């Protein structure tokens, strides 16, 4: 008897490598054949077949239309039991291609709706109507924060709705370092005991808003250094830092593989993004016991309880952000207590074992057609 098949769709292949390999492995152990469809030639473990197709982030392009047609042909040929899509473009193409295929259940994980509380009217006009229409051909919608869950419950019409706490942090890989390890890593990077190091790992772009942190640095003492890691063109950031006279205190280190080493080297994380679903970079930092100062958005609010396990900066004012950093700098005991509480929260609520259980509960009704959606745990998923 042939194995049942599941197809995962996303705009880029590294999305699967970063977030979904444990799920792929579990599905194979459950007897499923795992396929992927994405842009990128990277070979993935725990995958039986990979389809590579050129995709673009902008949804309405010729490349994406061609990819959607090819995806539809693949779905008809392979007869998947489940298609699970991720990322906005992946979700649009996969759910459109799967529409009308009665033997296929279409799932979509929203890693943060572009329309949300505080979003611009342009975001609502551009994204909400599309998501509303697609919800009618979505058998299972998964959200990764409670704000999106409540919004989807009120405004969308998918067959079922589930909350899953992100993708799960490997707390065995990300954990606090001891003083000896910390000093050794700081010495490698040239930091002395007098340096106060802020770290932020994110693609350099408008949404991640690194320029706010550079402006903030101008209101901090010379001992405060800012390390910005991640891909993207940062020429504008370098120019801004130079114009403000802080160029010697801002370090653009590009994409990094050993993130834990950077976390334990740093004194705090400063997160400036305007929009987040549930940011993995912040969860990893919290798992390493770092205090986090983060700009107010739904993903940051989901993770951080203000003045308990981190600090929420209410608006994009460099002076206000600098004041929080100065407070952490001047109150090391409070900063350490926040970091310890942050680590505890990640282990209890957002660690990989916790999330894996939630994901498995979400998948079960779609894996076993004899199980009714109404038998699913109400805390994880429920019929609409």
Buried b (16+ CB within 10 A) or exposed e, 163-202: bbbbbbbebeebebbeeeebeebbeebebeeeebbbbbbb
Q: How far apart are the first and last CA of the chain?
A: 33
Q: In this structure, is residue 61 part of a structural domain?
A: yes
Is 174 a member of any domain?
no
Above 90 in pLDDT, residue 4?
Answer: yes
Q: For residue 369, what are the contacts with CB-CB under 8 A and spacing of at least 6?
A: none
- Judge if 38 and 142 occupy the same domain: yes
pTM of the model: 0.90
Domain identity same for 216 and 163? no
Residues 192, 149: one domain? no
Same structural domain for residues 237 and 124? no
* Backbone Cα Rg of the chain: 22
274 and 233, same domain (yes or no): yes
- 222-269 pLDDT, tens per residue? 999 999 999 999 999 999 999 999 999 999 999 998 999 999 999 999
Shared-domain flag, residues 221 and 331: yes
Q: What is the three-class DSSP state of 240? A: helix
Residue with tokens 């994901």: 359
Specify whether 76 is located in the same domain as 103.
Answer: yes
At 119, the pLDDT band (50, 70, 90 cuts) reads confident
Q: Which backbone phi and psi does 263 adopt, to 5 degrees?
A: -65, -50
Q: Residues 57-69: what's their mean pLDDT?
A: 82
**Does 32 lie in the same domain as 161?**
yes
Q: In the predicted model, is pLDDT for residue 376 greater than 80?
A: no
Are residue 14 and residue 149 in the same domain, yes or no? yes
pLDDT over 80 (residue 380): no
pLDDT in tens, 334-356: 999 999 999 999 999 999 999 99
Looking at the structure, do residues 356 and 346 belong to the same domain, yes or no? no
- With a cut of 70, say whether residue 298 has pLDDT above it: yes
Domain extent, residue 108, equals 5-168+351-383
Question: What's the domain count of the chain?
Answer: 2
| 193 and 329 housed in the same domain | yes
* pLDDT at residue 37 tops 80: yes
Q: Is residue 173 part of a domain?
A: no
Per-residue pLDDT tens over the stretch 151-184: 999 999 999 999 999 999 999 999 999 999 999 9
Q: What is the CATH number of the domain that holds 318?
A: 3.40.50.2000
């Amino acid at each position: 008897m042939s194995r049942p098949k599941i197809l995962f769709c996303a705009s880029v292949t590294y999305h699967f490598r970063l977030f979904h390999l444990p799920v792929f492995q579990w599905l194979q152990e459950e007897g499923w054949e795992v396929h992927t469809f994405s842009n990128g030639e990277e070979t993935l473990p725990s995958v039986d077949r990979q389809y590579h197709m050129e995709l673009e982030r902008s949804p309405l392009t010729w490349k994406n239309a061609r990819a959607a047609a090819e995806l539809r042909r693949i779905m008809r040929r392979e007869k998947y039991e489940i298609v699970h899509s991720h990322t906005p473009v992946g979700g649009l193409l996969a759910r459109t291609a799967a529409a009308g295929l009665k033997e296929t259940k279409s799932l979509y994980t929203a890693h943060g709706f572009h329309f949300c509380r505080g979003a611009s009217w342009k975001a609502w006009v551009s994204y909400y109507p599309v998501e509303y229409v697609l919800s009618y051909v979505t058998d299972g919608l998964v959200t990764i924060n409670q704000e999106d869950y409540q919004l989807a419950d009120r405004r969308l019409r998918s067959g079922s709705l589930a909350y899953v706490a992100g993708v799960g942090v490997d707390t065995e890989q990300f954990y606090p370092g001891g003083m000896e390890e910390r000093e050794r890593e700081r010495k490698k990077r040239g930091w002395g005991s007098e340096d106060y190091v802020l770290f932020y790992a994110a693609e350099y772009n408008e949404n991640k808003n690194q320029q706010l942190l550079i402006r903030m640095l101008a209101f901090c003492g010379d001992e405060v250094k800012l390390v910005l890691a991640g891909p993207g063109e940062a020429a504008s950031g370098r120019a801004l830092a130079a114009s403000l006279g802080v160029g010697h205190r801002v370090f653009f280190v590009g994409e990094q593989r050993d993130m834990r080493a950077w976390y334990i080297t740093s004194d705090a994380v400063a997160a400036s993004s305007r929009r987040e679903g549930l940011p993995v970079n912040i969860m990893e930092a919290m798992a390493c016991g770092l205090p986090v100062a983060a700009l107010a958005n739904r993903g940051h609010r989901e993770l951080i309880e203000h003045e308990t396990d981190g600090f929420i900066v209410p608006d994009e004012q460099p002076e206000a952000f600098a004041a929080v950093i100065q407070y952490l700098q001047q109150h090391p005991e409070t900063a350490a207590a926040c970091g310890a509480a942050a680590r505890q929260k990640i282990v209890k609520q957002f660690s990989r074992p916790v999330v894996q259980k939630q994901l498995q509960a979400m998948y079960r009704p779609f894996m076993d057609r004899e199980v009714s959606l109404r038998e699913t745990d109400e805390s994880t998923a429920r019929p609409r």
